[in-house]
Amino acid sequence: MFDDSRRRTPDELLADIELEERRKQRGKLKVFLGYASGVGKSFQMLDEGRRRRERGEDVVACALQPDYPEDVRRIIEHLEAIPTISSCGAEAIDVASVVERQPEVVLIDGLAYDNPAGCTNAHRWQDVEVLLKTGISVLTTVNVQYLENLQDEVERITGKRARYIIPREFLNNLADEITVVDAPSEESVLGGIEDTSARLAEKHKLSRLRELALLAAASVVDRQLESYLRSQGTEQTWGVQERILVCVTDEFDAAEMLESGRRNADRFQGEFFVLHCRYKPVSKEGREQLERNLQQARLLGAEVFTLVDSDVVTAILDFAMQRGVTQIFVGRSDAPRGFWTRVRGNLAVRLIRAAEGIDVIVYPHR
């Protein structure tokens, strides 16, 4: 049986303690996340910087864009700026000058940019890591198309692929706050598109991009919540991020069920687990079928686990509780499958009755 009574390993405890200590020592990171140009990320970030300065915080800007609308330029007039450094025709944060200045908060517009050749760090997000480690807090902006693991989906929506990449782990591990910036009006994003059908198509794209941004922000919040609850000795099975568990056996071809689970995980930017719980002897044909199922799971990028337990339902639910699973996929056939099926009863029905707070999706096998 899969059982550690939900006690966490010494390594897990140490990792949480170290993470908490790092968060106490380093600066705070707030990210203004947009889903398209023109939604107002720069304005909101700079306006918050202005308000903080008016409250007495030491705020400087150390990376700004060359062209801003009038309302943004008026805010910049009230902010101290540390000039960027130029190299190979590109601009980079003067990290050394910022660290020497030691402000409480720095404003960085455009987290996703790469640094020019010759800089210590290849990417701007690495500059931010350095500043955070010195105790300086950072307000920054980024669009959803630059987030790792979302670029394929964004390309499917827009037909374009972003040049730069922000590792998702950067946000998961370092973002203390993430704000999705919504457009104040359609015209701020759709202005200039006159054709009705083109406007409708663009609105549909923006709606899908907005959903991706909300899911990305929810994923960060979910991980922060998990980390906090673990540090308090509390476990939970709910959250804003979907975690899909597909249960496979040696009796059926699970390819369609696995692909459905993968699609659900991708749709919500969730995690994808595949579990086989062995409770009986397996024939040669069964071993071959099981290996095909597990190989398909690996090809689909699932985390694959195998347990040995005579109580399949309890083992599945114990695993699901440990991993915070939100959906369980299990196969079912209307035809009895012999002695073990008659003795144990229908697995899907027992699982549905026993699963509390977890959706069980019964997938028909032919």
Q: Kindly state whether residue 146 falls inside one of the protein's structural domains.
A: yes
Give tens-digit pLDDT for 113-149.
Answer: 999 988 899 999 999 999 999 999 999 999 999 998 7
Q: How far apart are CA 42 and CA 250, in angstroms?
A: 55
We report the CATH number of the domain holding residue 318 as 3.40.50.620
Secondary structure (DSSP) of 155-178: HHHHS---S--B-HHHHHHHEEEE
Q: Quick one: pLDDT band at residue 316, thresholds 50, 70, 90?
A: very high
Give tens-digit pLDDT for 48-61.
Answer: 999 999 999 999 99
Does residue 107 sit in the same domain as residue 223?
A: yes
Q: How far apart are CA 277 and CA 306, in angstroms?
A: 6
Dump strand ranges (E) for the chain: 29-34, 59-63, 80-81, 85-87, 90-92, 105-108, 137-143, 175-180, 243-247, 271-278, 303-308, 327-332, 359-364
Average pLDDT over residues 354-365: 78
Q: Kindly state whether residue 93 falls inside one of the protein's structural domains.
A: yes
Q: Kindly state whether residue 237 falls inside one of the protein's structural domains.
A: no
**Cβ(294)–Cβ(274) below 8 Å:** yes
Q: Kindly state whether residue 7 falls inside one of the protein's structural domains.
A: no
Q: Kindly state whether residue 2 falls inside one of the protein's structural domains.
A: no
Does residue 45 sit in the same domain as residue 190?
A: yes
**Cβ(50)–Cβ(73) below 8 Å:** no
Which of 231, 251, 274 delimits the end of a domain? 231
Does residue 78 sit in the same domain as residue 202?
A: yes
What six digits make up the tokens of 258?
Answer: 């696995």
Does residue 166 sit in the same domain as residue 267?
A: no
Q: Kindly state whether residue 8 falls inside one of the protein's structural domains.
A: no
Q: Quick one: pLDDT band at residue 351, thresholds 50, 70, 90?
A: confident
Give tens-digit pLDDT for 61-108.
Answer: 999 988 888 889 999 988 999 999 987 778 899 999 999 999 999 999
**Mean pLDDT across the chain:** 82
Does residue 257 sit in the same domain as residue 290?
A: yes
Amino acid at site 279: Y
Does residue 184 sit in the same domain as residue 290?
A: no
Does residue 214 sit in the same domain as residue 360?
A: no
Domain count, the chain: 2
Domain of residue 43 covers 20-231
pLDDT given at position 2:
38
Give tens-digit pLDDT for 197-221.
Answer: 777 888 888 888 888 887 778 777 7
Which residues lie below 8 Å from residue 314, measured CB to CB, with a gap of 6+? 1, 354
> Between these two residues, 97 and 264, which has the higher pLDDT value?
97
Does residue 34 sit in the same domain as residue 177?
A: yes
Check pLDDT > 50 for residue 238: no
Does residue 250 sit in the same domain as residue 159?
A: no
Which of 231, 259, 281 delimits the end of a domain? 231
DSSP 234: -
Does residue 261 sit in the same domain as residue 226?
A: no
Give tens-digit pLDDT for 279-305.
Answer: 888 888 888 999 999 999 999 889 999
Does residue 251 sit in the same domain as residue 218?
A: no
Q: Kindly state whether residue 147 falls inside one of the protein's structural domains.
A: yes
Which of 204, 231, 258 delimits the end of a domain? 231
Q: In what order do the strands lie in the sheet containing 175-180? A: 80-81, 59-63, 105-108, 137-143, 29-34, 175-180
What six digits make up the tokens of 199?
Answer: 């406007």
pLDDT given at position 10:
63
Does residue 187 sit in the same domain as residue 119?
A: yes
> Between these two residues, 25 and 328, which has the higher pLDDT value?
328
> Between these two residues, 276 and 335, which has the higher pLDDT value?
276
- Asked which of 154-163, 311-320, 336-345, 350-359 is least confident by mean pLDDT, the reply is 336-345
We report the CATH number of the domain holding residue 173 as 3.40.50.300
Q: Kindly state whether residue 11 falls inside one of the protein's structural domains.
A: no
pLDDT given at position 366:
54
